[in-house]
Every structure is written in C-alpha cells, then in structure tokens.
Amino acid sequence: MPSVVQVLVWPLAPRPVGVAIALVSTLPIAWRLTHPAAAAFVGTLPWCIPTDGYVVVGFIAAFVLFYSLGAHVADLRLVAAITLFGVALSVLGSWLNHEVPGEYMGAVTAVVLPALVGRVVRRQRQQTSKLEQLTAELEHERERTAQLAVAEERARIARELHDVVAHGLSVIAIQADGAEAALDRDPALARKPLTAIRQSAEESLGEMRRLLGVLREDGAGADLAPQPGLAQLPALVERARATGTPVTLDVEGEPRPLPASLDLSAFRIVQEALTNVHKHAAGAPATVRVVWGSQVLALRVLDTGTGGVGAPRVNGSGHGLVGMRERVKLHGGELRTGARPDGGFEVTAELPL
C-alpha cells in the first residue's frame, strides 16, 4: 500500500517500526464500513508513538477513517468522543515528535474535518431517504384515492344501468301481456308487440352485459327518477345558461334512438364537461357540439376560458374526468381532454354506435 512504500523510502527511523505503524494505521480501513467506530479508534493508537516523523503516515488513513466515522455511526456522542480522542492523540504525537505548533493544526484537521464532512453527508442521506419515503407514501395515497374514485363512479354507473335494465324488462312484460291478449283475436296484430319484445330483450341483454362489467356496492339505493338522455340536452344547456355560462348547442347529422345506457352516458359526459366549464371558466362562452355519424357519435364541449394554454383542468380531485373516462370505456369509445391552442379547454368523446 502507498503508506508502506512511503515508510520504505523514509530515512528518519527504523523501517520495522515505520512499517508496523503504517499497517496499524491503515489496516482498519478494511472494516471501516462494518465497524467504523472501532476502525477510527484503532487507527489513531499509533499516533502517540514517537517515531521521528512516521506519525504522518497515519494521517493518510485518518481522512478515510474519520469520514467513515461521521458518515456511518448514528450515535453523535460516540462520534464526538472518538474524534476528541483522535485530536488528543494527534496533538500528543506532534508534541512527542517535536513538531512546530503550526503542524499541530494539520494533525487536528486530519481528524476533525473528515468527521464533519462525513456527518454532513450522513444528514443529507437521511433527509433524502425521508423525502423518498414521503414521496412514496404520497404516491400510494394518490393511487388509493384514484382507485376509490373509480370504484365510486363504477358503482354509480352500475346503479344507473340497473335502472335501465329494469325498465327494459318492464317493457318486455307489458308487451308480452299485449301480445298474449291479441294472439287469440288477431295473430297478425300480435306480431308487432313480439317484435318490440325481441328488440327490448336484445337491448336489455346488452345493458346486462355492461352491468356485469362494473362494480356495484351492496345495499346502494337506486334513483327512481327517469334517466336522462341526449333528448334532454336543450334543458341541460338552459340550466347552464341560468348559472351564468353562455352555452351554444350545435347538432350535426340526424339524431336516432340509442340504447338506454349509451344515451345516458352521452348525456352524463356532456353534463360533466359543462360542470367542468362552470367550475374552471365561469362566465366563459362554451359550445356543445353533437355530431351524429354513421358509426360514431361524437360529443365535443369546448370553452374559451382564461385558464391559459396548457393549464390543468380537473374537478377537485379529478373525479369528473374519471367518471367521463369510465363511461366512455364502458362503451368502447375514446376520450380526449386538454387545453386548446388558442386558450380554453376541450373535451371530446367518441362513442361507437
């Protein structure tokens, strides 16, 4: 090692003594990470031996040993005690070797400075570890909150779908009664309610499949009021205007009947998007555009709010966007949200027909 090489070329004292001092001073480096306090203690012992200059060899290892002491020992009192012990031995060694007072400070610095640096590094590592732990906890809480929001939204959608399916089954029952009554009098007349039964059954079966795809909380009560659809958009727009948001409704294409759950989801998406406008861009003009395509129903809600380009736009904890995503996903559609290049915000939902 470099210390031994230095001893072999040092002309001041017997070489065996110098080699022994070099070994005792530097060998503790091998266990400085597992036993830093013991390593620093043992490494300083040879410093009090008068060697006519060889004590400087121990200072080469002192920087490493006392840095490890400060960085890896938790007990501050133990660090301070061993550091003071090292200071005392370094001063004693300098005195025994008849060094000038200025060299005493060099010996003390070789002990104190590395210990202080190691302590600062330890403190920074602890703070970094705490910040990482806090960040992980916050991320876990955010994920948990998002999962709860999704579960709540799915439960609400499930309750709504439950009502839609129940309505479809009620229609089937009523049409079946009519078909049974007409079957004996006019079999041809019974064909019409039977056709309606088949259509209602197909729609209800589709709604039931969607219902099985979401979660429903046990014991949750159902809303007995009729579920809204796109036919109620004019009334929704009027309510938005009454709250101070100037809304324009544009409809392109030929409207046609939709499955009840799709009709309900389309209405809720527009409703939530307008709520988003009212919360984040109150008073800003907004446009609701409904485009009836051959295979896709496109819903677009945009505003000219002053939130700024790229400004985030979520309702509180983001549950509104979660609800829209869940509804669009339920029907295999696509949802896009974001700031408009010229200012304001835009929500676009495309639902397959």
In tens digits, the chain (353 residues) has pLDDT values of: 444 444 444 445 455 666 666 666 677 777 777 777 777 777 776 666 655 554 555 666 777 777 887 887 777 676 676 676 666 666 665 565 555 555 556 666 677 778 778 888 888 888 888 888 888 888 888 888 777 777 777 777 766 666 666 666 666 776 677 677 667 677 777 677 777 777 767 666 666 666 666 544 444 444 445 578 898 899 888 888 876 788 999 999 888 888 888 888 899 899 888 888 877 777 788 999 999 988 899 999 998 876 443 444 544 444 467 778 888 888 889 999 888 888 888 999 999 98
Instruction: Kindly report the pTM of this predicted structure.
Output: 0.43
Residue whose structure tokens are 């339920």 = 330
Burial environment of residue 187 by CB neighbours within 10 A (0 to 12, 13 to 18, 19 or more): exposed
Q: Give the integer Cα–Cα distance in Å for 350 and 211.
A: 20
User: Within 13 Å, how many C-alpha atoms sit on residue 145's CB side?
Assistant: 10
Segments in the chain forming alpha helices (H): 2-9, 15-26, 36-44, 55-72, 76-96, 101-185, 187-212, 233-242, 260-280, 319-330
pLDDT at residue 274, as a whole number: 86
Q: Give the integer Cα–Cα distance in Å for 256 and 278.
A: 29
pLDDT at residue 288, as a whole number: 93
